[in-house]
Amino acid sequence: MRSKKKKFEELKTFNNVFEWNTKGVKKKIKKLLKSKKEVILELGCGKGEYTVELAKRYPEKIFIGVDIQGERIWKGAKEAIEGNIPNAYFLRTQVENIPEYIPKKRVKEIWLTFPDPFPKDRQAKKRLTSPRFLDMYKKILKKGGVINLKTDSQGLYEYTLEQIEEKKLKIEENNSDMYASSDIEDITDIKTTFEKKHLEKGKTIKYLRFV
């Protein structure tokens, strides 16, 4: 079991990880994104289960997992290196800082996989589907770009539906209990660590896909 300190040191040597406090990091990302490949982000990616698994399935696309927790990113980044998955990358920074690194209208799709629901009203602006974040996504998403949300939180699910309605966004998929009624590729067959725990406890998983 590697210590947190050792993981952070190893992280610095990974060629698939960009850290916000590293010299020249913005130039490196800009170089990566010069290609015409579709770019998909997983925000608050944790261990990067979606980033790695989707990158395996779609080698023609670029996947970038974003999280501030280096010891979590370490797991996904190492798995991608050991599994020879060259299109999986990780950016260690706060989600709200993404526009500093990702060019406007460059992202095709965003995944929000079990983000912190911040249940208290005074924490609403921290939710990854709050107006300030949705406005930020609009800047980096291409026209017609989509956002996927998977959550076990009824509160976050309902809050997101309210924001979608207020902003008059188009819903492509709305499922309040996806394992009870559907089998959707990339949705029900990829499970994060948090998702497995939630399912073991009998929680229902909600899924939203919106433009």
| Positions marked catalytic | 116
Instruction: Determine the residue type at 81.
Output: I
Contact present, 90 and 73 (Cβ < 8 Å): yes
The number of angstroms, rounded, from the C-alpha of 20 to the middle of its chain's C-alpha atoms is 17
* Nearest Cα to Cα of residue 8 among 89, 46, 101, 19: 19
- The tokens describing 87, both together, are 């299109």
Please give the radius of gyration of the chain, using alpha carbons only, rounded to the nearest integer: 17
In this structure, what are the phi and psi dihedrals at residue 186, rounded to the nearest 5 degrees? 75, -10
- Alpha carbon distance 43, 101 (integer Å): 13
